[in-house]
């Protein structure tokens, strides 16, 4: 007869017989080998996602604009929005990236295009903003003088 093998991490098999193991769905993971129930699949914490069949909690990467501020893996709770003045334009590990010099962005920014020059500075926010020219001022955040 055929040799049975244990379902690998990220999968489970709830029935006896020759059926294949089922993947944990997307946004879930299972670190259990030979799992026999969907109940072994654990949902990723808030603001994080994992691909179908994930076998490790570190597969749950924080979504765009969010980080756990501890290298991108949600070890201690939900992923939190990127701080003001930063952005993150990818999901997964790593920290949020600072806006260019003298630019700001709202909390939870998911793109450098969310960065705007601060008051007193001009530019497009995509590169370093520079001080207003002599005898000019800007008292709002954004593009322009």
Show Cβ contacts of residue 1 under 8 Å, excluding neighbours closer than 6 positions.
Answer: none
Sign of the C-alpha dihedral computed for residues 107, 112, 116 and 122 taken in this order:
positive
User: Residue 50's pLDDT band (boundaries 50, 70, 90)?
Assistant: very high
Q: Where is pLDDT greater, at 23 or 75?
A: 23
What pLDDT is recorded for position 137? 84
pLDDT in tens, 121-133: 999 888 999 999 9
Show Cβ contacts of residue 95 under 8 Å, excluding neighbours closer than 6 positions.
Answer: 67, 69, 71, 72, 86, 88
């Amino acid at each position: 007869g055929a040799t049975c093998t244990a379902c690998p991490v990220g999968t489970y098999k709830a029935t006896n017989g020759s059926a294949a193991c089922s993947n944990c769905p997307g946004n879930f993971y299972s670190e259990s080998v030979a799992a026999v129930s969907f109940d072994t699949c654990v949902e990723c914490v808030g603001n994080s996602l994992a691909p179908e069949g994930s076998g490790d909690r570190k597969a749950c990467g924080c979504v765009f604009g969010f980080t756990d501020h501890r290298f991108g893996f949600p070890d201690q709770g939900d992923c939190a929005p990127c701080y003001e003045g930063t952005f993150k334009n990818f999901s997964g590990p790593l920290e949020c990236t600072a806006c260019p010099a003298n630019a700001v962005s709202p909390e939870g920014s998911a793109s450098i295009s969310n960065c705007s020059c601060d008051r007193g500075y001009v530019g497009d926010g995509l590169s370093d903003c520079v001080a207003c020219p002599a005898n000019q001022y800007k008292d709002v955040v954004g593009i322009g003088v």
